[in-house]
Amino acid sequence: MQQQSTEANKPTTAPGAAATPAATRPNDVSLIDRASVLEEADAISHYAAPVPSNAPAKMRTRNVNLYYGEFHALKHVNLNIPEHEVTALIGPSGCGKSTFLRCLNRMNDLIEGCRVEGEVTLDGIDVYRDLDPALLRCRVGMVFQHPNPFPMSVYDNVAYGPRAHGITKRADLDDIVEQSLRDAAVWDELKDRLDANGLGLSGGQAQRLCIARALAIAPDVLLMDEATSALDPISTNKVEELVGALKDRYTIVLVTHNMLQATRVAQKTAFFLMGEMVEAGPTMQIFEDPQDTRTKDYVSGRFG
């Protein structure tokens, strides 16, 4: 997938134009691979559970434009994030999907020269005008691409958020830590190692620890920025199962490079290309019957 995404920068918007050079390229092995993978995936019905189509929107963005200095990174993005569903953001590298994700909890505020226009709402509250970023991030948690446990014990990692927000009683913290680790499906592996340093964990355990850490402050929305891209297949599988289990209680938005992952876990999918949100809809529709030719080209593997 990585390799395909790097090709996305080539100007291959027209499907015909893309097909001709592809046929003569020596490395179209990867295309065959991809086709077979998709076929195989189709054979075992892998789509996430279908959508309750009228789920209310937890977050909405209206006409969001984002600039890094002069660079127009997001263009007029309108998207509804339905409550208690998994929304996947897909698209080639550099298309703005991670940038958009970081708009939702204002992590872009930290980047110098970054400017956001338009409206992002959480339960109808404008998060850029009427909400303190720290409060917003308590309600909209985030899991990053690379597992980033703090250099402290597993227990302290999970208890970090609750402690920072004023919970100091040991018994309360114990409950929160256990519950969060259970929710992140890592309790059985780590319950005997609560005093171990978080940095010593394997990649998959560390990422689930980070998920537990995010859950410990009981957010409404969980953002996952390519949270499985640094993990091995088994750990990826565990995290995907976890996402499926968590969506009943949280609203999840995830960025992924892996289209199969989107089909496996997401009820709604949005396709981004060069800073534009091209198309959004039920995952099945985006992959089986896309309305926009660019979406069609991307999901059928013509480019990107």
Interface contacts to other proteins, rule CB under 8 A = 105, 107, 110, 134-139, 141-142, 144, 146, 148-152, 160-161, 164-165, 197, 199-200, 210, 213-214, 217
Please give the torsion angle defined by the CA atoms of residues 6, 111, 137 and 121, in that order, rounded to the nearest 10 degrees: -80
Residue 269: CB minimum distance to other proteins, A:
24
- Nearer of residues 29 and 110 to other proteins, judged by Cβ: 110
| Shortest CB 288 distance to other proteins, Å | 35
> CA-CA distances (angstroms) from residue 254 to 3, 41, 81, 128?
21, 20, 11, 21
Q: Which is nearer to other proteins, 17 or 199 (CB)?
A: 199
Q: How far is the CB of 111 from other proteins (least distance, A)?
A: 11
Nearer to other proteins, 150 or 187 (CB): 150
Nearer Cβ to other proteins (180/236): 180
Taking the complex as a whole, the smallest distance from the CB of residue 29 to other proteins amounts, in Å, to 32
Which CB atom, from 72 or from 165, has the smaller least distance to other proteins?
165
Assign residue 260 a region (left: φ > 0; alpha: ψ between -120 and 50; beta: otherwise): alpha
Give me the residues paired with residue 141 across strands: 222
Smallest gap from Cβ 56 to other proteins, in A, equals: 24
- CB of residue 170 vs other proteins: minimum separation in angstroms? 18
Residue 84 or 163: the one with the smaller Cβ distance to other proteins is 163
Are 243 and 49 in contact, with CB atoms under 8 Å apart? no
CA 273 to chain centre: 16
Nearest Cα residue to 236 out of 207, 211, 200: 207
Who's near 59: CB < 8 A, 6+ residues apart? 80, 81, 104, 120, 121, 122, 140, 221, 251, 253
Tokens representing 240 are 């995907």
Residue 67, SS3 per DSSP: strand
Length of the chain: 304
Which C-beta is closer to other proteins: that of 48 or that of 217? 217
- The least distance separating other proteins from the CB of residue 61, rounded to whole angstroms, comes to 19
- Rounded CA-CA distance 121/57 in Å is 10
Alpha carbon separation from 136 to 10, 151, 254 (Å, rounded)? 38, 25, 18
